[in-house]
Amino acid sequence: MKKSSSLVADPKRLPVIVRGARTPFLDTGGKFSSLMSYELGAKAIAGVIEKSGIDGGCVDMVCMGTVVHETETSNVARECMLNAGLPSTTPAYTVSMAGLSPNVAVANLCDMILLGRIEVAVAGGTESFSDIPVRLSQTLRRSVMRLNQDSSAATVLSILKSLRPRDLLPKMPTGTDFTTRKTMGALCERMVEKYGSTRAESDAFAVRSHQLASQAWEQGNYDADIVPVHVSGQAQPVTRDNSVRADASLEKLGRLKPVFNKRSGIVTAGNSSRLTDGAAALLLTSLGAAERMQLTPLAAVRDYVLAGTADLNDEMLLGPAMAIPRLLRRNGLSVDDIDVWELHEAFAAQILVNQVCLGSADFAKQRHAMEQAVGAIPLEKLNTWGGSLALGNPFSATGVRLLTTAAHRLQQGNGRYAIISSCAGGGLGAAILLERMTG
């Protein structure tokens, strides 16, 4: 029996999603290479304002997530909204919670709306892996700061004597988790070893993601949300994601070798999401503001859960299996009550292992003190427009893409509830519950 979730004291303060917009998602090192992260974010914000038809001056707050921080734009949300043409009187702030950064931006602004602090907001995320900050070595950085304090000849000579050739080499950012010192791919392999999955299942899920994404693009499901991006030196604007492979097949993926565990691993380049440049934004309002501004909301944001995993070495990417049961239980819902599921596909194996855990009575009892398994998500309801394996993964834009897609799928299928969920580095997870608005 479905139980209507309502944490809203005043129905007019119900936070709702009015519109979403995003740039195309492009492989890192491609046509977006010349654009800084804030420029991509600005295009997404300008796009969602234009598509919703509102005056940007009515936005009360902007919050953007990011993972790869550019020091020149430390509050990238501010630079995004100013570059998008919003007035400087609108405040903006940046959040970072690994791949959950856009989810937190949405959650924070929805809480503000619910409390009556604001009525109209833009939440989003922006990411550029083509323009990552390359650092000097720690030894050289400290030497430079020492010179900044004391540039005497004695200090200069002392520093020169202490430096080694290796200290002059640039330090590239790595994809390793700071605490475990392991990559997300290697940690995904650890989950597979603990909970089980196969290479064949992973490749099949990846092929499914590409086929469904290609089909969704051909059916025009993404067209309305895309913001064309004009890049200097390019004759035509960028209007489409470039990592979707319509010709993906089990045969092609089967030829690829494991990347992180070369002897017995199942994670390959073909069943992993790609580093991607892109940005996305959502227009959020209170229900009262939407009615007053004659806007038609897509979905209400009913509730959300942020969670952490119990074992960072063996369960790093189990965030959905930790967050989804709590969200369902708090709202008196079951897996079967949810009409639309959108989960971030970091790796095919990560989705499959989370499915195993959701379907496990032992996991439910040990981690959630539940008497029976939550239940695996039905495939016919999961990521039916494709997912991150095909569309790409600009970390801080993916969460907004999931929410926008879920809201559209609810409207298209006349469903009632949707859940979007993501894992993230640091052993984090999120789940957000949406309810379709019906006129």
Q: What is the pLDDT of residue 171?
A: 77
| Whether the predicted pLDDT of 1 surpasses 50 | no
The CA–CA distances, whole Å, from 375 to 303, 328, 367 equal: 20, 11, 14
Segment 303-334, tens digit of pLDDT:
999 999 999 999 999 999 999 999 999 999 99
In the structure encoding, which two tokens stand for residue 251, read together?
Answer: 């045969």
Percent above pLDDT 90 for the chain: 84
Nearest to 348 by CA among 203, 158, 238: 203
Q: Are 273 and 388 in contact (CB under 8 A)?
A: yes
Residue 234 contacts by C-beta under 8 Å, 6 or more apart in sequence? Answer: 31
Segment 18-49, tens digit of pLDDT:
999 999 999 999 999 999 999 999 999 999 99
- Specify which residues 15 forms β-bridges with: 286
Number of H helices, E strands in the chain: 14, 10
pLDDT band of residue 8 (cuts 50, 70, 90) is low
| Whether the predicted pLDDT of 150 surpasses 50 | yes
| Whether the predicted pLDDT of 193 surpasses 90 | yes
Instruction: List, as one string, the DSSP characters of 16-78.
Output: EEEEEEEPPPEETTSTTTTS-HHHHHHHHHHHHHHHHT--GGG--EEEEE-SS--GGGSSHHH
pTM confidence score:
0.93
Residue 325: other Cβ atoms inside 10 A: 25
What is d(CA 275, CA 409) in angstroms, rounded to the nearest whole number? Answer: 26
Segment 210-241, tens digit of pLDDT:
999 999 999 999 999 999 999 988 889 999 99
HSE, side-chain direction, 13 A CA sphere, residue 133: 12
What is d(CA 209, CA 389) in angstroms, rounded to the nearest whole number? Answer: 6
Question: What DSSP character marks residue 143?
Answer: H
- In one-letter notation, the amino acid at residue 265 is G
Average pLDDT over residues 87-97: 98
Strands 299-308 and 92-95: unpaired
In the structure encoding, which two tokens stand for residue 297, read together?
Answer: 């909301």
Least confident of 3-17, 275-289, 363-377, 419-433: 3-17
pLDDT band of residue 154 (cuts 50, 70, 90) is confident
pLDDT band of residue 7 (cuts 50, 70, 90) is low
- 232/89: higher pLDDT: 89
Which ranges of 255-394 does DSSP label H, i.e. alpha helix? 287-292, 319-330, 348-358, 361-368, 388-391
Least confident of 138-152, 207-221, 346-360: 138-152
